[in-house]
């Protein structure tokens, strides 16, 4: 899984997944009280860490398209180009992924270093795609043509997750999302089964700091 050599992303910032998961914006729920001062606070509020990271990731991807040989426009970008971008980012990775011929393949805690290459961790790529998918639509892209939501990208991320799980020897497990206990009375709320209330697509993993880990 070497980086695609046809892409010329010389100026792309390494480790785009350096931020943490989405931050809840403080003060958003205080509209019911203090209506006079709420608008002033909202106007001076700094963007959350998640929003800042999403903006940096979006600018990084646009720069990658400009540096691509031949240059690519966003309108011509497909899921294949997104996968090419993810492979390109592997050269900036901090996670060691053992190959099948390595004596430490499948070893959770290798006792010694080896010559296996460093790559981007699956969790970082998964969260990155979630941010870019949201940024694409926030910048005028149509959801049905969103290259970050393409089936090929989902398949690629699943393959990365499975291969890294085998290399590490510990499978990734889906974390079950806990439903918050409802304290309000639900009388007359017959259609309240929709549990997908606006969670950001693809941003389920918390991104670890850019420290070298062994897989």
Check residue 175 and give its pLDDT: 58
Check residue 23 and give its pLDDT: 37
- 3-state helix, strand, coil split of the chain in percent (to 5) is 45, 5, 55
| Cα-based distances in Å from 117 to 3, 69, 106, 170 | 12, 25, 15, 19
pTM of the model: 0.62
CA distance 95 to 5: 21
Percentage of the chain beyond pLDDT 90 is: 47
Q: Are the C-beta atoms of 96 and 213 separated by less than 8 Å?
A: yes
- Per-residue confidence in pLDDT tens, the chain, 215 aa: 444 444 444 444 454 444 433 333 334 444 444 444 555 455 557 889 999 999 999 999 999 999 999 889 999 999 999 999 999 999 999 988 999 999 989 888 888 999 998 999 999 999 999 999 999 999 999 999 999 999 999 999 999 999 999 987 776 666 555 655 544 434 344 433 333 333 333 333 333 333 344 44
Residue with tokens 């941010």: 131
Pair of tokens at residue 208? 């670890």
- Strand, coil or helix: 118: strand
Please count the other Cβ atoms lying within 10 Å of the Cβ belonging to residue 187.
6
Check residue 19 and give its pLDDT: 41
- Strand, coil or helix: 96: strand
Pairing of strands 95-96, 213-214: parallel
Residue with tokens 């398949």: 155
CA distance 45 to 48: 9
CA distance 213 to 215: 7
CA distance 60 to 188: 48
**Hey, where are the domains in the chain?**
49-174+206-215
């Amino acid at each position: 899984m070497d980086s695609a050599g046809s892409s010329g992303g010389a100026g792309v910032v390494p480790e785009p997944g350096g931020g943490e998961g989405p931050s809840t914006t403080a003060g958003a729920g205080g509209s019911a009280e203090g209506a006079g001062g709420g608008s002033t606070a909202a106007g001076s509020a700094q963007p959350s860490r998640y929003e800042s990271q999403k903006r940096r990731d979006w600018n990084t991807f646009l720069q990658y398209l400009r540096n691509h040989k031949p240059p690519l426009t966003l309108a011509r970008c497909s899921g294949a180009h997104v996968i090419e971008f993810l492979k390109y980012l592997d050269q900036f990775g901090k996670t060691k992924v053992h190959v099948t011929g390595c004596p430490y393949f499948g070893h959770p805690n290798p006792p010694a270093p080896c010559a296996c290459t460093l790559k981007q961790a699956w969790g970082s790529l998964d969260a990155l795609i979630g941010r870019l998918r949201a940024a694409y639509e926030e910048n005028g892209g149509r959801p049905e043509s969103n290259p970050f939501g393409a089936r090929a990208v989902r398949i690629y991320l699943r393959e990365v997750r499975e291969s890294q799980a085998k290399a590490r020897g510990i499978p990734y497990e889906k974390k079950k999302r806990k439903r918050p206990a409802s304290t309000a009375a639900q009388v007359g709320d017959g259609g309240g089964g929709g549990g997908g209330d606006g969670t950001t697509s693809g941003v389920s993993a918390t991104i670890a700091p850019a420290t070298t880990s062994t897989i």
